[in-house]
Copies of this chain bind each other. A is one copy, B any other.
Amino acid sequence: MNQDKVTKKTTIYDLAELAGTSASAVSAVLNGNWKKRRISSQLAERITRLAEEQGYAVNMQASLLRREKSKIIGMIVPKYDNRYFGSIVETFETMARERGLFPIITCTRRDPELEIEAARTMLSYQVEWLISTGATDPDRITDICSAAGVRSLNLDLPGSKAPSIISDNFKGARELTRRILINSERKLGAAHPLLFIGGRGSDHNTAERVRGFRTAHADVGVSVDESHILTCGYAPEKAESSLQALAASEGRLPDGMFVNSTISLEGVMRWIKRSGHYVGRSPVIGCFDWDPFAALLADEIEMVRQDVQGMLDAVFGIIDQGSSSETLIQIPPVFMEGDAPW
Q: Which residue numbers of A lie inside 8 Å of B, CB to CB?
A: 1-3, 6-10, 55, 57-62, 64-65, 70, 79-81, 83, 85-87, 89-90, 93-94, 102-107, 109, 120-121, 123-126, 144, 146-149, 236-237, 262, 265-266, 269-270, 273-274, 291-294, 296-297, 339, 342
Chain B contacts for A9, CB-based, 8 A = 148-149
Chain B contacts for A79, CB-based, 8 A = 86, 90
Q: Are B121 and A102 in touch, CB under 8 angstroms?
A: yes
Tallying the copies of this chain within the complex gives 2
In the complex, A103 Cα to B118 Cα: how many Å?
11
Residue of B nearest to A147 (CB): B55
In the complex, A317 Cα to B1 Cα: how many Å?
30
Chain B contacts for A273, CB-based, 8 A = 296, 339
Residue of B nearest to A90 (CB): B80
Chain B contacts for A105, CB-based, 8 A = 105
Residue of B nearest to A60 (CB): B124
Q: Which of B102, B125, B149, B237 contacts A8 (CB 8 A)?
A: B149
Residue of B nearest to A83 (CB): B81
Q: Are A120 and B57 in touch, CB under 8 angstroms?
A: yes
Could you write out 8 A-B pairs with CB less than 8 Å apart? A7-B147, A58-B124, A61-B125, A80-B80, A80-B85, A236-B342, A262-B293, A270-B339
In the complex, A290 Cα to B105 Cα: how many Å?
25
Q: Shortest CB–CB separation between residue A130 and chain B, in angstroms?
A: 12
In the complex, A105 Cα to B104 Cα: how many Å?
7
Q: Shortest CB–CB separation between residue A325 and chain B, in angstroms?
A: 18
Q: Which of B61, B148, B265 contacts A64 (CB 8 A)?
A: B61
In the complex, A275 Cα to B124 Cα: how many Å?
54
Q: Shortest CB–CB separation between residue A336 and chain B, in angstroms?
A: 13
Q: Shortest CB–CB separation between residue A141 and chain B, in angstroms?
A: 13
In the complex, A62 Cα to B79 Cα: how many Å?
31
Q: Which of B60, B104, B124, B237 contacts A342 (CB 8 A)?
A: B237
Chain B contacts for A3, CB-based, 8 A = 146-147
Residue of B nearest to A266 (CB): B292
Q: Are A86 and B93 in touch, CB under 8 angstroms?
A: no
Known: A60-B125, A80-B87. 20 other contacts (CB 8 A): A1-B147, A7-B149, A9-B148, A57-B120, A59-B65, A60-B61, A60-B124, A60-B126, A61-B61, A61-B65, A65-B65, A90-B109, A94-B109, A104-B104, A236-B342, A266-B292, A270-B296, A270-B339, A293-B293, A297-B297
Which of A9, A61, A93, A109 has the most chain B CB atoms closer than 10 A to its own CB?
A: A61
Q: Which of B60, B146, B148 contacts A57 (CB 8 A)?
A: B148
Q: Shortest CB–CB separation between residue A283 and chain B, in angstroms?
A: 14
